[in-house]
Amino acid sequence: MSERPMTLWQAGDVGQLIGGAAVLLAAAWLDLRLAAVLVVWLAAWAANVGLTRFAGRWARYLVPTIFGLTILVLWQMTVRLYAVPGIILPPPTAIAQTFAANLPTLWQDFAQTFLKGALGGYAIGCSTAVATAVLIDRSDFLQRGLLPVGNFVAALPIVGMAPIMVMWFGFDWQSKAAVVVVMVYFPVLVNTLEGLRAADPMQRDLMATWGACYGQSLRKLRLPAAMPFIFNGLKIATTLALIGAIVAEFFGSPIMGMGFRISTEVGKLNLNMVWAEITVAALAGSAFYGLVAVAEKAVTFWHPSQRG
């Protein structure tokens, strides 16, 4: 593991090559299509094995990219070669076509579910949670009471609140935002409370010797020290926000939105559109997480985990 020779292939590979060839021959004897799929898989895997032997920086991005592309190619090949019906698993090219042809609809759904429901609820929920944590931070009694309750609630299936919120706030995005508020509130609260305790007594004493009042000590020492914890909560909340907004639409929504589109198009067995919507959800989810991670990097640049 430690010594890594700079040759692409090693002695042990010959054995693996023979093994691979034997598997291929057996597959070809059974079914030519299976052999074709296996050829692509083994070739891509061999390329990756070769690439990992170079400890280059670019290999770290190239290897997962090759792996992802291989999965897509295999998916396409399998669906086409075995003529899998489109109502069970559509090929990636068909999904891409549907995606490109329905951009206005997809954007409308994205705006309804993500920009209004998820982002609105995320902003309200996270800011209320941080504010609550700062408020109850001065009372040891409240902290000891709320922390176990918050930890408990954070593990519960809160998505189940969705039907109640839809009843209270109507079908439009307000009810989705309400579900998101409830979902993100407790993880952020618990993490912020933990973070506010992160400044160690020595640092607090130093602030006290400088005659800093509560507000100054909070602003200049304890909130900055809490930032890594707060951002941990904020990152967990990004995924929860999107899940909450989508699932809440399964319980009733106006005739747009990602959750609405998924459940109705599934009903029509129009799986191309469902997969296109799932692509949007995946892109939105990772972009949202990425944005929060970038913000974290900018705010907590001093933390050891960011300097590595």
Partner 1 sequence: MRSVWPVTAVLLVILALWYAGSIWLNAQWVYDQAARANTTVTLADLIPQTMNQTRPVLPAPHQVAAELWKTVVMTAPTSKRSLIYHGWVTLSATLLGFAIGTAAGVLLAVGIVHNRAMDMSVMPWAIASQTIPILAIAPMIIVVMNSVGITGLVPKAIISAYLSFFPVVVGMVKGLRSPDAMQIDLLRTYGASGAQVLGKLRLPASMPYLFTSLKVGVAAALVGSIVGELPTGAIAGLGARLLSGSYYGQTVQIWSALFAAAALAAVLVGIIGVVQRLTLARMGMDR
Binders of partner 1 in range 69-88 (CB under 8 A): 87-88
Pick the binder of partner 1 from 119, 126, 177, 246 (CB under 8 A). Answer: 246
Could you tell me if 231 and 300 are in contact, meaning their C-beta atoms sit under 8 angstroms apart? yes
Could you tell me if 92 and 72 are in contact, meaning their C-beta atoms sit under 8 angstroms apart? yes
User: Does residue 169 bind partner 1 (CB under 8 A)?
Assistant: no
Q: Closer to partner 1 by CB, 199 or 280: give it.
A: 280
Encoded one letter per residue, x for contact with partner 1 by CB under 8 A and - for no contact, window 28-47 reads: -----------------x--
* Distance of alpha carbon 42 from alpha carbon 47, whole angstroms: 8
Which of 124, 252, 253 has its CA nearest to residue 184? 124
- Apex CA 97: angle with CA 93 and CA 100, to 5°? 135
Q: Least distance in Å: CB of 203 to partner 1? A: 25
Encoded one letter per residue, x for contact with partner 1 by CB under 8 A and - for no contact, window 125-144 reads: ----------------xxxx
Q: Closer to partner 1 by CB, 166 or 199: give it.
A: 166
Pick the binder of partner 1 from 133, 159, 196, 225 (CB under 8 A). Answer: 159
User: Does residue 250 bind partner 1 (CB under 8 A)?
Assistant: yes
Binding region for partner 1 (CB under 8 A) out of 192-200, 205-213, 279-287, 294-302: 279-287
Residue with tokens 């990425």, as numbered in its chain: 290
* Distance of alpha carbon 175 from alpha carbon 118, whole angstroms: 10
User: Does residue 54 bind partner 1 (CB under 8 A)?
Assistant: no
* Distance of alpha carbon 201 from alpha carbon 206, whole angstroms: 9
Could you tell me if 239 and 285 are in contact, meaning their C-beta atoms sit under 8 angstroms apart? yes
Q: Least distance in Å: CB of 51 to partner 1? A: 8
Q: Alpha carbon of 41 to those of 34, 54, 59, 60, 68: distances in Å? A: 11, 21, 19, 20, 12
User: Does residue 163 bind partner 1 (CB under 8 A)?
Assistant: yes
Pick the binder of partner 1 from 6, 11, 83, 155 (CB under 8 A). Answer: 155
Q: Least distance in Å: CB of 195 to partner 1? A: 19
Per DSSP, 301 falls in state T
- Please report, as a single letter, which amino acid is at residue 59: A
* CB neighbour burial string for 143-172, b if at least 16 within 10 angstroms, e if fewer: beebeeebeebbeeebbebbeebbeebebb
Size of site (CB under 8 A) for partner 1: 65
CA 78 to chain CA mean position, Å = 28
Binding region for partner 1 (CB under 8 A) out of 18-26, 34-42, 124-132, 146-154: 146-154
- Please report, as a single letter, which amino acid is at residue 240: L
Q: How many residues would you count in the chain?
A: 308
Q: Least distance in Å: CB of 68 to partner 1? A: 7
Residues that bind partner 1 (CB under 8 A): 1, 45, 48-49, 51-52, 59-60, 63-64, 66-68, 87-89, 141-146, 148-149, 152, 155-157, 159-164, 166-168, 238-239, 242-243, 246-247, 250-252, 258-259, 262-263, 266-267, 269, 271, 274-275, 277-278, 281-282, 285-286, 288-290
